[in-house]
Structure 1
Amino acid sequence: MIETIHVVRHAFRSNWVVNPRTGVYSITIPTPTGLAHDPPLTAKGVEQAKELALHLCSLDPPIDRVYSSPFYRCLQTLKPTTDRLHEQGKLHAKIRIDRGIGEFFGRAHFTHPDPPTVAVLTSHFDHLDVGYGNDTIPVPRLQGESIVELHERVNKAITRIVGELDVDPQTPKTLLICTHAATMIALGRVLTGNMPQDPDEDDFQCYTASLSTFVRKSSKGVVGNWGCVLNSGTGFLSGGAERGWKFNGEESFVAFPDTPSENKDPSKL
């Protein structure tokens, strides 16, 4: 049975923008996957990932399973950790790519682009589970999600993930997830069951390369059955807490279902 869940946000990444009229994404530097909405880490982010790895690889009990958002920056953040754990013989399972814990894109009048495929990612990263759930994991709405829909997606994803690991014959106990700012906040709320009346409430933090830890209370259920023992910890990072984010009520590209907005920019996610 999974007893501990560690959640990290990807490290400091390169910037990108989207044209709110056309839905076209652009970036000033090339991306490894060739997708403008899939930028890599900056040099600072690479250093954060290394510092994060030193901490994660020292955890006791050690990490048994790793799940990641399908975006390049998340796998790049995980790479120093998973490479070292495999070299040390501490991690015997491959990284599972799961769109259920992927990026949050606000509601829009255009279609958001897909993340890179597992086939594309395997040319950049080792230790990926190429056969995991590619045809069965539900994907986010193509035209984005409301904040409520994001939380519903995360609820289904983490319930499924913990459920499948609870019956894993190798009996893993510690899970590591790498995701994004909004999804990290939603995971904290779903796991603890502490859903605020106002989704903009500043409750669970999500600094770059930060670590949140949740400990299971009992064997019964997933949602609301975890206590948060670390909320976006950054004590292992030389730069401390940086680039925090919170919901602010302006995550949607549309004011109403069919009305385009002029000034929404998701690049802060």
Structure 2
Amino acid sequence: MIEVIYIVRHAFRANWSVDPQTGTYTASLIKTPTGIPTDPPLTSKGVEQAKELAEHLCKLEPPIDRVYSSPFYRCLQTLKPTTDRLFRDGRADGKIRIDRGIGEFFGRASWEHPTPPTVQILSPHFDYLDDEYVSVHVPASKGEMIVELHDRVRKALDHIITTLDNDSQQPKTVLLCSHAATMIAAGRVLTGQIPEDLDEDDFQCFTAGLSKFVRRTADPEKGAACNWDCILNSDTSYLSGGAERGWHFNGEESFVSFVENPVDDKETPKL
């Protein structure tokens, strides 16, 4: 069974902007390798953070047995220095599984957000991607309310944990690379510590920061929810620049004032 979950936020990235009236996204001056405006690469600072992160992750105890990532370029670019070393040494199963369930959070809108890159789009840029892995839980195309984000992350983590618990090779640890909002939601659903006010500043998500969760009991029926202790809350002690770009919900993430008919999970497409 999986005993330890490591979660990192991607390193320092380039920016994009969106016109909230039209839903038009515009990339910054740094070219997006996949051509998707919401899929920018890391900045030079982020590239250095990824290298420092790799030095730390490759020495973790217990060591990393499996690797999952959000589908966005910045997450895979953050992982690359780590996975190149791990896989070269025959560790961590030699594959990165792309899971949209731990992907970026976009607030609910009246228009569709850009779709993240597929494995086929990403493969020319990154090695070791598992082209047979299929995401089961994906965000709705028009975004999510904060409570819907938490539900999506809970379902995605349940699926990942259950899959690894049933893995014949019996991995003990998994590394996930994700985003700020998703990382906060993951901390809450893993520990069961979901505040009444979802804007509460509780679980941290600094760029290239590492959180660690340890399973409380060997009961696979409990899945992801309420069965993990947070041992590290976005540690950045290994980064020369320390903790940067912290983030938390502020109640204004949606582009609509209220939702009469929240998107049903059954309506979302599968990757």
- Calculate the TM-score normalised by the size of structure 2: 0.93
Matches within 5 A, 1:161-200: 161-200=160-199
Instruction: Give the aligned partner of residue 216 of structure 2.
Output: 217
After superposition, the C-alpha distances for 1:184-224 in whole angstroms (9 at most, x for unaligned) are: 00000000000001000010000000000000011221211
Alignment partner of 1:14 is 2:14: yes
Local SS of the residue matching 2:94: coil
State the 1:182 CA deviation. Answer: 0.2
Give the residue type in structure 1 aligned to 2:137. P
Give the residue type in structure 2 aligned to 1:157. A
Instruction: Give the aligned partner of residue 239 of structure 1.
Output: 241
Residue 14 of structure 2 contacts residue 42 of structure 2 at CA under 8 Å; is this kept in 1?
A: yes
State the 1:91 CA deviation. Answer: 2.2
Local SS of the residue matching 2:214: strand
Matches within 5 A, 1:135-174: 137-174=136-173
After superposition, the C-alpha distances for 1:1-39 in whole angstroms (9 at most, x for unaligned) are: 000000000000001001111111111221110111100
Identity %: 67
* Farther-moved stretch of structure 1 (84-93 vs 65-74): 84-93
Local SS of the residue matching 1:59: coil
After superposition, the C-alpha distances for 1:212-260 in whole angstroms (9 at most, x for unaligned) are: 00000112212110000000000000000000000000000111238xx
Alignment partner of 1:84 is 2:80: no
Give the residue type in structure 1 aligned to 2:96. I
After superposition, the C-alpha distances for 1:43-67 in whole angstroms (9 at most, x for unaligned) are: 0000000000000000122100000
**Can you give the 5+ residue segments of structure 1 that lack an aligned partner in the other structure?**
259-269
Q: Distance in 2 between matches of 1:168 and 1:151?
A: 26
Residue 137 of structure 2 contacts residue 155 of structure 2 at CA under 8 Å; is this kept in 1?
A: no
Q: Distance in 1 between matches of 2:183 and 2:137?
A: 18
Q: Distance in 2 between matches of 1:99 and 1:216?
A: 23
Instruction: Give the aligned partner of residue 98 of structure 1.
Output: 99
Give the residue type in structure 2 aligned to 1:105. F
Residue 53 of structure 2 contacts residue 238 of structure 2 at CA under 8 Å; is this kept in 1?
A: yes
Residue 38 of structure 1 contacts residue 73 of structure 1 at CA under 8 Å; is this kept in 2?
A: yes
Give the residue type in structure 1 aligned to 2:32. T
Residue 184 of structure 2 contacts residue 204 of structure 2 at CA under 8 Å; is this kept in 1?
A: yes
After superposition, the C-alpha distances for 1:107-156 in whole angstroms (9 at most, x for unaligned) are: 1011111000110101100010011015xx23211111000000000000
- Calculate the TM-score normalised by the size of structure 1: 0.93
Q: Distance in 2 between matches of 1:88 and 1:112?
A: 39
Instruction: Give the aligned partner of residue 68 of structure 1.
Output: 69
Local SS of the residue matching 2:250: coil
Matches within 5 A, 1:2-41: 2-27=2-27, 28-41=29-42
Q: Distance in 2 between matches of 1:133 and 1:141?
A: 16
Q: Distance in 1 between matches of 2:42 and 2:124?
A: 17
Give the residue type in structure 1 aligned to 2:56. H
State the 1:92 CA deviation. Answer: 2.1
Give the residue type in structure 1 aligned to 2:14. S
* Farther-moved stretch of structure 1 (240-249 vs 88-97): 88-97
Local SS of the residue matching 2:132: coil
Residue 96 of structure 2 contacts residue 128 of structure 2 at CA under 8 Å; is this kept in 1?
A: yes
Matches within 5 A, 1:113-128: 113-128=114-129
Q: Distance in 1 between matches of 2:235 and 2:138?
A: 29
Equivalent pairs, count: 256
**Can you give the 5+ residue segments of structure 2 that lack an aligned partner in the other structure?**
261-271
State the 1:87 CA deviation. Answer: 1.3
Alignment partner of 1:132 is 2:133: yes
